[in-house]
Structure 1
Amino acid sequence: MRTDPLTKAGRHFMRTVWAFCQVRGLLEEGIACSMQIKARLITLDILSPKQKREYEIYQRMMYAMPKLEERLCLGSDDDLGHTADLGVVVDWLVPSGASATPQLSRHSKANHGFYHYWTGKLLCPVGLDWEDPKIQEELRSGTTIVSGEYWPAFIYKDYTCDENNIWKGLFQSDILVKVVCTIVSLGSQKATKSCNAVIHNMTSVTIPLLAYIATQVMFSQNDVATDSETFYNLIISLLNNPDEKNDVDALLNWWNG
């Protein structure tokens, strides 16, 4: 079956603009605001910072999906559904030469999260020693609760955080690189059809894309109560912080160099 072009555009919007936006509310408020602006009843100047941000996202959605309004009038509520199949990540969790016992499933997260050695190792918050049996038990039992405000080991190169330089290797892990390449088909020599990067004119890795990828990897391997939206927003906030500009620029240069 051919994928609906609008569905493809919706997936791309989530990857490159905002992964956790409340689509229905965003559309309702965006359309109302747009109509009032066109009727000269209001101006952008009177909107609050939050309203301006949401209207900007709405406009970017309209640009990405020019036939969206027409489809909303004629279609169903499922027109903006989107999914992300990252089951392939399982193949990259276990280092070469090592074995996974029990085997990790692509289709079920029943033994993922902190319940499996390899997924637990990568999801373990930096600063905690996963090799300590007591830490493993506390994470598995919920005695130690992991929220979206903790950095998991898998976002670091070699899955290790340098406490003296938290930017060293941040968002440069092998898993993140492989997932980015899989989703946007960067550098693929075997593609038989246009990849996402070509279809949507993606020319570089961006902050929203990095946040989306990291959150999807977290979600696809984690079956415990982790706040994915908090994790996503934390990444967006950090990478858009003016005080971190030099490090962020260096990170984006690393990805796009």
Structure 2
Amino acid sequence: MRHLIEPLGIIHIAFQATACDPRAPGSDGPEDQEDAGVWKRRYLALQENLNTQSAPKSSIRKAETTTSTSQLGRGIRKVVFICGEIKDLVSDSDKHYAYLADPNDEDLNYEFDGLNEDEVEDLKRDWERSHTAVRELIHLIPNFQKKIDEGSPEELNQFYAEATNGARSDDLNRICGCIADWLNKADPTPSPPLDHDCHKHRGLAHDITGRLLCPTEFDWDDLVTRAKLRECDEDFDWLSSYHSRCFYPGYEADVTQLESGYLKSNLLIKVYKSIFTSPSSAKDVSEDNDENMPPAKLQKTLSSNKPVRRNVASKLHLNGKVTPRSIAYAAVQLHFNLQTAGSWSAIYGGFNYQGLYNYVVDVFEDAPGPAAKKRAQDLLNWWSTKIFPTTSLHRRSNTLASRKAFKQQRAALEEEEAP
């Protein structure tokens, strides 16, 4: 506040000198009257700014724009990590930090005993992924860093309990019904139709959900292949693939280009919208499977004094940008609800959902080089455009480059035309 008060006093003195003392030197011409007006406007503007910053915030406004810690705890599964304990996350994050500081740390290297080279790299990647998750928690929950650094074991246990699983279960139950509604309206119509409230007749046994669960490496339309998949033939191991058709546009992909189109299916976008924006917003997603289609047209909204109910994305501070972990969460919700499971399990029927979540996160966070990082960022930008189409309209443009070029050209012409 001091940075406003001190200039305010200086401007006030200058304004008094020029505006209130007509005999002051240089105060008898129209330019000096204009100068006094400038000082007056600056004084009033700073005074207004000072009053705005010092005024107490309305409790109603605060209630509309803040989210309680318990609500944020329900959101941890959606935007930070799909399952597990916060204390384990923090512990692995600390290991990553310690390993970077000293790769020869004996206690850390002891954990590598008995592991091959690939397994060691996977373990270090687990630590790194947890470290990123902790940074996400710091962004999500106020004073999280202070709490884990200074809290007593008793306080931390209570705080860690905030990471509830209720929201994940609620989403599972709701997405179960949404998927049934969407697929039952699709062409061809499922036979039998999917039950809105039950997973019982889903999975590989159902032709529609089976196609969506089938990895792109296998030809679902081939009846022999389909039978082998259902028999769990060892040469048709669909449980070891995270390239299910449900993640690709049109549910088809080039097996030699697995990254192309990955995570761009309309069904996945619908699941994401249902979770993070609103179930009704998923209706705006076209049934056309063209991944390059523009986002839905913006709907005009009527002005109103009524407070607008904030969606999950706003409460979890996504700020108009899709995150890798929120996509991973939606991917797990989609795949899990195509299965026959009735309740959450990190591993169901041999399929590792913790592994799927980590795999999708790594698509964005563990790119091997600059080209892959650019593709990952392009995919993330594509997602943000699909989910938050209005964000680009409110993004302030940067005209510095065009202004600079224009100014340089005018200056050059000025020199050429000078006498």
- TM-score with structure 2 length normalisation? 0.50
Distance 2:99 2:254 in 1: 48
Mapped pair 1:13 → 2:76: yes
Q: Which residue of 1 aligns with 2:198?
A: 108
Q: Find the partner of 1:80 among 163, 170, 178.
A: 163
Q: CA 1:22–1:247 in 2, change beyond 3 Å: closer, same or farther?
A: same
2:273 corresponds in structure 1 to: 181
Moved more, 228-237 or 153-162: 228-237
SS of 1:80's equivalent in the other structure is coil
- Tell me if structure 2 keeps the 8 A contact 1:156–1:171: yes
Structure with the larger helix share: 2
Instruction: Choose the corresponding residue for 2:101, options 21, 30, 45.
Output: 45
SS in 2 for 1:99: coil
Within a 5 Å distance, the mapping from 1:57-76 to structure 2 comes to 57-66=133-142, 73=155
Aligned to 1:54: 130
Matching residue of 2:407: none
2:376 aligns with: 248
- 2:28 maps to none
Change (3 A) 1:59 1:92: same
Q: Secondary structure at the match of 1:57?
A: helix
* Partner Cα separation in structure 2 for residue 201 and residue 139 of structure 1: 42
Once residues 53 and 177 of structure 1 are traced to their aligned partners in structure 2, the CA distance between those partners, rounded to angstroms, is: 24
Distance 1:235 1:55, change over 3 A: closer
Deviation of 1:14 after TM superposition, in Å, equals 2.1
Q: CA deviation at 1:170?
A: 1.7
Q: Deviations over 1:169-214 (max 9, x none)?
A: 2211111111111111179479962101222221211211222211
TM-aligned CA distance change 1:125 to 1:56, over 3 Å: closer
Do the aligned partners of residues 198 and 208 (structure 1) sit closer, same or farther apart at CA in structure 2, a change above 3 Å counting? same
- Paired residue type of 1:185: T
Q: Tell me the residue number matched to 2:316.
A: 200
Q: Which of residues 198, 202, 209 is equivalent to 1:119?
A: 209
Between 233-242 and 152-161, report the one with greater CA deviation: 233-242
What percentage of aligned pairs have identical amino acids?
Answer: 22
Asked whether the equivalents of residues 146 and 225 of structure 1 are also in contact (C-alpha less than 8 Å), the reply is no
Compared CA separation, residues 11 and 137, structure 1 to 2 (3 A)? farther
Change (3 A) 1:75 1:161: same
The answer to which of 113-122 and 161-170 deviates more is 161-170
Which deviates further from its counterpart, 143-152 or 48-57?
Answer: 48-57
Count of residue pairs the alignment pairs up = 246
Q: Return the structure number with greater relative CO, CA threshold 8 A, min gap 6.
A: 1
Aligned alpha-carbon RMSD (Å): 3.6
What residue identity is the alignment partner of 1:249? Q
- Greater C-alpha radius of gyration: 2
Matched-pair contact (CA < 8 Å) for 1:148–1:230: no
2:374 is aligned with what amino acid?
Answer: N
Match of 1:129 in 2: 219
One-letter amino acid matched to 1:116: H
Deviations 1:118-147 (A, max 9, x none): 100111110211122222222222223322
Question: Once the 2 structures are TM-superposed, how far is the Cα of residue 78 of structure 1 from its aligned partner?
Answer: 5.7
Q: Classify the secondary structure of the residue corresponding to 2:239.
A: coil
Q: Is the 8 A contact 1:16 1:208 kept in 2?
A: yes
User: Structure 1's 172 and 6: CA in aligned 2 closer, same or farther, altered over 3 A?
Assistant: same
The aligned counterpart of 2:121 is: none
Deviations 1:134-169 (A, max 9, x none): 222222222233224341001001111023533332
Specify every segment of 5 or more residues in structure 2 that has no aligned partner in the other structure, as ranges.
Answer: 1-66, 109-123, 282-298, 302-306, 341-348, 386-419
Is the 2:70–2:162 Cα contact (8 Å) retained in structure 1? yes
Partner of 1:217: 334
Assess, with a 3 A threshold, how the Cα gap between structure 1 residues 76 and 107 changes in structure 2: closer, same or farther: farther
The alignment's TM-score, normalised by the length of structure 1, stands at 0.78
